[in-house]
């Protein structure tokens, strides 16, 4: 299971890459593997505002549909329309081409409360027991 060291993680299997006052959000390798073949994505448009814990979109696979949650508050500044048009990219490159949204953070300190790669790896080991 791929767990890049430069990201923050949630227990809902979203990842966050923080760059100053902005952050990029996506779903983890574990999430895409658990969902199976991704067939549909719904993402918010730029300008939408969210608080931590809000559902910001939907990912559907051949197995299930799941909400995507933001672990931090902020305003959407970009949505990955290429991933919406070709949702299978989530299965192929969950940490790269399949980023979902970019946010301007309300409080960059919120991201510090998320798990680092080591903690997320331990969390995955625990839930797989």
Q: Report whether 101 contacts 56 (CB < 8 A).
A: yes
* pLDDT at position 73: 97
Asked if 40 and 63 touch (Cβ cutoff 8 Å), the reply is no
Structural domain boundaries in the chain: 8-127
Cα–Cα distance for residue pair 61/70, rounded to 1 Å? 20
Task: Give the predicted TM-score (pTM) of the model.
Answer: 0.94
What pLDDT is recorded for position 67?
95
Closest by alpha carbon to 45, among 76, 84, 86?
76
Among candidates 68, 123, 72, 65, which has minimal Cα distance to 98?
A: 68
**% pLDDT > 70, the chain:** 100
Domain 8-127: CATH class, spelled out: mainly beta
- What are 86-116's pLDDT values in tens digits? 999 999 999 999 999 999 999 989 999 999 9
């Amino acid at each position: 299971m791929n767990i890049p060291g430069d990201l923050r993680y949630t227990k809902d299997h979203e990842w966050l890459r923080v760059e100053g006052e902005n952050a990029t959000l996506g779903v983890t390798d574990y999430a895409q593997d658990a969902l199976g073949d991704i067939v549909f994505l719904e993402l918010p448009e730029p300008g939408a505002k969210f608080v931590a814990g809000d559902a910001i979109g939907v990912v559907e696979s051949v197995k299930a549909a799941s909400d995507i949650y933001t672990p931090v508050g902020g305003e959407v500044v970009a949505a990955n329309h290429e991933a919406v048009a070709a949702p299978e990219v989530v299965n192929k490159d969950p940490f790269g081409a399949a980023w979902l949204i970019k946010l301007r953070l309300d409080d960059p300190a919120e991201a510090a409360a998320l798990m680092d790669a080591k903690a997320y790896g331990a969390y995955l080991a625990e839930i797989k027991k």
